[in-house]
Chain A
Amino acid sequence: MNISKILIIFILCIIGFVMFIPFLWLVSSSLKPMEDIWVFPPKWIPNPPRWDNYYNALTYLPFGRYILNTLFVTFMVLVGVLLTSSIAGYAFARLRFPGKDFIFYVLLSTMMLPYIVTLIPIYIMFKNLGWLDTYKPLIIPAYFGGGAFNIFLFRQFFMGIPQELVDSARIDGASEPSIFFRIIIPLSMPVVVTIAIFTFLGTWNDFMGPLLYLQSPQKLTVAVGLSYFRGMYSTQWNYLMAASTVMIIPPIILFLLAQRYFVRGIVLTGLKG
């Protein structure tokens, strides 16, 4: 191992430690009794660790139900986003059609208006559709483009795929959809995985959406459930931290699973010939 590798590992560890602190504090607080949470300087290792905080936090409210609900919504949204934003991104990246740039800027501009002023008209729309207190407002828009952020990101990546691959496939008579699914996507696993991670996290943690559109207690999601620990005069921090710790496990699992696909997609051997 040379010097530069050692230096890099050293820096990685230092920064890694800093990055790890919030997680440490989260878990450490989750095992403390209420009185100890704000003691200064903080006691890192609670003694004795209160594992029952987890039990109490998760049974205080039907968190099992919330987790299932959230998994459902997140999965449905994931499918919709991956499907519709990837094809749109590809169209903007490699397909030629009139009005392409204009449509792209219009799409981008939908991200430029603060959500606060569109909350009410969107809510009224969903109310008139009869979609209040259902998962539809949360899921259906994902099948209609999945957001300009994702489309833009796909576009950037797809524009990096060598034209030769696409041209030769076209000459071989392949249709655009088959080019897309059989050639482009396998080469783009890093960006697909990245968007999957972002989308999963965004939906999993989404609070405003479920808050506004869901009413029935049995339909609620984890993010809303977490907010219930906030009291008027005192928040039940230890339960909140315990529930939060459980809540970050699915995104971590997804991230770890995704690492397998986070590999170099473009293999150039055989092209320069």
Chain B
Amino acid sequence: MWYRKLLLVTLCMLLVVSLLPVISPAQEQVTITYRTWEGGEMMKVNQSQVDAFMRKHPNIKVILSTVPENYDEKLQVETASGNAPDVFQLSAENIAAWGSRGVLLDLKPYFDASSDLKLSSFYEPLQRQYTVNGKTYGMSNAVEISLIFYNKKLFEKAGLPYPAADPAKAKNWLWDQYVDVAKKLTVVDPNNPSNILQWGTTTTRGWVFYFMPLVWSNGGQLFSKDYKEFLLNRPEAYEVLQKDADLAQKLRIASKSEDLQKLGMGNVDLLAQGKLAMLITGTWDVFSLSVDRKFHDWDVTYLPVFKPGKLYTTIPQSGYSIYSKTKHPKEAFEFLKFLLSEEGQLYRAKVGNVLPSIKSLLTPAAQKKWISPAIHSPNFGRVVFNYMRYGMLLTPTNYFPDNWLKISDVLDAELGPIWSGKKTAKEATESAAAKINAILQGK
């Protein structure tokens, strides 16, 4: 019965073959740590992102490590000791300083080798901000720009048209017209002229990311092209700062810090409660308004300009980097890719506090994937997509150089008195120039 033996042998072979997947070695488990500073509501969002990634990549385990306080200390102590997490959040201000010192993995080769996600997939200014001397030290999955939020009801009450959603109109929205509108939206207590019931607008509160678009629109600059000279002490720059501060100090159509203290609330609350008509802030306040305060009668517009023809805005930033000494660069990049992919970015963009950084989501057609009427205003997508085309970085080097944090601290300390009325913009910028030029040229 030779064919019975043949059948038996064949059956045995089939059995062995079918068992092979079970006895072959399991894929190696790799564990990587992912560090963020986002506590509160974002913790759960981040964990969902991590879980989604792990489902797609069963051989990679990602541990989410959240450090809402003392983030820099912990990260720097770990890095200085050679013990840093594999993927971590890092402010764009640190990219060049850390990257040039060998702490961050150069992602360019990884992006070049990747088939689905390239550097060119991202919003242009980000590509420049994260690339230092040809090396890409990180990337962000979030864009934020400076712009104006306004309270629609207050405009209606005053009989004024809403500010422009159309960039062509906005390019001609000059400072004086803006001030005029703000004046019409400021309501003074008839019984007590020093009591303002409704503020027309806010100042830039001295934050460089808020006032630079105004300065640029007047032909002013922050630094010279070779990054060796501080230029805010030129008239085209300090005039702008003075005019902005005067909105609060002289014209009383914007609040000073004492006014805010008197009211006991911040600008976002004032807007939501109908006590403020226009607010200069960043796109992150979408969340504060719609979700935190459940206020939906707002919309967005562009910052005014001093000279017509072009729009300007800034991009405050933070993103992710990979530790240069990570033991699992491939897996870390795989995870980073997920965070940066369209799918990964939707987790965050839908929450409402950031805009996506990937170009494929930044088109009017892709809007509905992350813009929702429950959270975003009707003109939000339109204004933001148009405005992003004019996003500019603060330094001529396109990335934040080593000494940026020091300069930024001096800048804040020296220019603060302008908005508290203690110094004129001319004096303050002159004093700032002396100190900042020393840093730029000397040490």
Contact = CB atoms under 8 A, between A and B. Distances in A.
A232 B40 contact: yes
A46 to B, nearest CB: 17
B353 interface: yes
Interface in A34-55: 34-35, 38-41
A233 interface: yes
A119 B40 contact: no
Contact of B292 (A40, A127, A230, A234): A234
Contact of B81 (A38, A120, A228, A233): A120
26 contacts: A35-B292, A40-B263, A40-B264, A119-B77, A120-B77, A120-B81, A123-B77, A211-B67, A211-B69, A211-B70, A211-B74, A212-B74, A212-B77, A215-B65, A228-B39, A228-B43, A228-B66, A230-B39, A230-B69, A231-B40, A233-B288, A233-B353, A234-B40, A234-B41, A234-B292, A236-B40
B264 A232 contact: no
Nearest to A132: B83
B269 interface: yes
A132 B265 CA distance: 43
Interface string A203-229: 000011001100100000000000111
Contacts of B38: 231-232
Contact of B287 (A119, A120, A123, A234): A234
A235 B287 CA distance: 13
Interface string B71-104: 0011001101101000000000000000000000
Contacts of B353: 232-233
B439 interface: no
A124 B78 CA distance: 9
Contacts of A40: 263-265
Contacts of B43: 228
A232 B37 contact: yes
B111 interface: no
Interface string A123-153: 1100100001000000000000000000000
Interface string A105-124: 00000000000000110011
Interface residues of A, number: 27
A236 B77 contact: no
B70 A208 contact: yes
Main secondary structure of the interface of A (DSSP, over half): loop
B264 A41 contact: yes
B343 to A, nearest CB: 22
Q: Which of A40, A41, A127, A233 has the largest number of chain B CB atoms within 10 A? A: A233
A9 to B, nearest CB: 34
B219 interface: no
Nearest to A34: B292
B404 interface: no
Interface string B355-376: 0000000000000000000000
A194 B41 CA distance: 40
Contacts of A236: 40-41
A211 B70 CA distance: 9
A39 B264 CA distance: 7
B227 interface: no
B265 A231 contact: no
A41 B262 CA distance: 10
A207 B69 contact: yes
Nearest to B353: A233
Contacts of A233: 284, 287-288, 353
B68 interface: yes
A24 B130 CA distance: 48
Nearest to B38: A232
B42 interface: yes
Contacts of B293: 35
Interface string B283-297: 010011000111000
Contacts of A120: 77, 80-81
Given A123-B78, A227-B39, A228-B66, 5 more contacts: A120-B81, A207-B69, A227-B67, A230-B39, A233-B284
Contacts of A227: 39, 67-69
A115 to B, nearest CB: 10
A229 B39 contact: yes
Interface in B415-430: none
A55 to B, nearest CB: 17
Contacts of B292: 34-35, 234
Given A38-B264, A132-B83, A231 B65 contact: no
Contacts of A215: 65
B269 A231 contact: no
A227 B80 CA distance: 24
A90 to B, nearest CB: 36
Contacts of A35: 292-294
Contacts of B81: 120, 123-124, 127
Nearest to A231: B40
B188 to A, nearest CB: 21
Contacts of A127: 81, 83
B80 to A, nearest CB: 5
A267 B287 CA distance: 66
A39 B269 CA distance: 10
Interface string B33-58: 00001111111000000000000000
